[in-house]
Amino acid sequence: MTVRTEELVLNVGPQHPSTHGVLRLILHLDGEVITRAEPVIGYLHRGTEKLAESLNYTQIIPYTDRMDYVSAMTNNYVLCHTVETAMGIQVPERAEYIRVICMELQRIASHLVWWGTFLLDLGALSPFLYAFKDRETILDFFNELTGARMTYNYMRVGGVKWDVPDGWIEKLKDFVQYMKKRVNEYEALVSGNEIFLHRVRGIGVIDAKTALEYGLSGPALRSAGIKWDLRRDEPYSIYDRFDFDIPVGKNGDCLDRYQIRIEEIRQSLRILEQALAQFPPDGDIMGKVPRVIRPPEGELYVRIESPRGEIGCHLVSKGKQEPYRLKFRRPSFWNLQILPKLLVGQPMSNLIAILGAVDIILGEVDG
């Protein structure tokens, strides 16, 4: 007797715990093996770019919080930095230090969310609790500084909104020392685990050529062995003052992406340590900014390194208070595009590992 087989079309999401938001995947399966995958996105599209066209620049900042809501500080920064570049505004030193401290702290918080949820997806519950405990400490720091846990609306064109509270820097210095030990603990807990390694080693391999073709950035690009980090290669803010390494992978698999992010937490701690040591004891937190912010006519594309990769802001200004066109290059959107290619030929069980290792935030994918 012959067994009749047929292709199975399986719908994953949009509401599914491992899709980290509202990603829908239409999978075509041959038994356990994925033959075709089609992501369906847009469930969280809020038309940020359209809204921006009728708002002035300060009013757009809270909208950027809501794109990559796990890394709102870097989003704030890219918009402010774009306008500052266009207008030639000098940001005071103290404000630059506060910004770098916030962005690196944010990178750690973002990687912790990733680390916890990625392992949760793979079936390990306890790392999630470790990660969220430490992340909560970081959010408490942000809460004290900005009054919000996740959507900070903190940076302004020309500086930052609030100065650091008394004792904040000292507390942060202690936290950095504490966190350095914790990262080692994380590694001891997970990185050598045999089951974990079986789930991620050699899975979802991206080679350098493909990574470039697909416009990947951040840890996804670096896992393919390309040493490219905008903090070092196109330095912005005051990143050229700090000493830090750029971890790169060899194999381009999920394990490499995992190790890169863990190492990036360490490097961010290194930057934080230096920034906190150099932190100017006093000074302005806002530069000289015209009362009405009106970048000159022209266009520019400004990019920075967010935890997920290159977040860019393409601004077309007509010299008005509102942008004529504001386009965000959202790294999650770009990095997600390679997913169908990675999934083809993989067993269903690898889907979660591959998707998780890409590290997407749906708010950013959908804009």
The residues that touch other proteins, with contacts defined as CB under 8 A, are 41-42, 45, 47, 49-50, 53, 85-86, 88, 209, 212-215, 226, 228, 233-234, 288, 290-292, 294, 296-303, 310, 312, 314, 316, 320-321, 324-325, 327, 329, 333-334, 337, 366-367
d(CA 235, CA 196): 36
* Min dist. Cβ of residue 302 to other proteins (A): 8
Nearer to other proteins by Cβ, of 309 and 356: the residue is 309
Amino acid at site 193: N
- Please check whether residue 355 is in contact with residue 204, taking contact to mean a CB–CB distance below 8 angstroms: no
* Min dist. Cβ of residue 209 to other proteins (A): 8
Nearer to other proteins by Cβ, of 121 and 366: the residue is 366
d(CA 34, CA 63): 37
d(CA 102, CA 138): 10
- Please check whether residue 309 is in contact with residue 107, taking contact to mean a CB–CB distance below 8 angstroms: no
With residue 300 as reference, give the H or E element that holds it: strand 298-306
* Min dist. Cβ of residue 291 to other proteins (A): 6
- Please check whether residue 25 is in contact with residue 13, taking contact to mean a CB–CB distance below 8 angstroms: yes
CB neighbourhood size of 245 (10 A): 13
DSSP state of 2: P
* Min dist. Cβ of residue 337 to other proteins (A): 5
- Please check whether residue 152 is in contact with residue 64, taking contact to mean a CB–CB distance below 8 angstroms: no
Q: What residues contact residue 316 under an 8 Å CB cut-off, 6+ apart?
A: 299, 323, 324, 325, 326
Nearer to other proteins by Cβ, of 154 and 228: the residue is 228
DSSP codes joined into one string, 199-244:
HHTT-S---HHHHHHTT--THHHHHTT----HHHHS--TTGGGS--
Nearer to other proteins by Cβ, of 44 and 164: the residue is 44
* Min dist. Cβ of residue 298 to other proteins (A): 4
Q: What residues contact residue 30 under an 8 Å CB cut-off, 6+ apart?
A: 5, 7, 8
d(CA 28, CA 106): 37
* Min dist. Cβ of residue 177 to other proteins (A): 36
With residue 177 as reference, give the H or E element that holds it: helix 168-186
Nearer to other proteins by Cβ, of 56 and 346: the residue is 56
Burial class of residue 62 in the structure, from the number of CB atoms within 10 Å of its CB (0-12 exposed, 13-18 middle, 19+ buried) = middle
* Min dist. Cβ of residue 213 to other proteins (A): 5
Nearer to other proteins by Cβ, of 107 and 330: the residue is 330
Nearer to other proteins by Cβ, of 237 and 337: the residue is 337
Nearer to other proteins by Cβ, of 88 and 281: the residue is 88
* Min dist. Cβ of residue 12 to other proteins (A): 18
CB neighbourhood size of 109 (10 A): 27
DSSP state of 347: B
Nearer to other proteins by Cβ, of 49 and 93: the residue is 49
* Min dist. Cβ of residue 322 to other proteins (A): 11
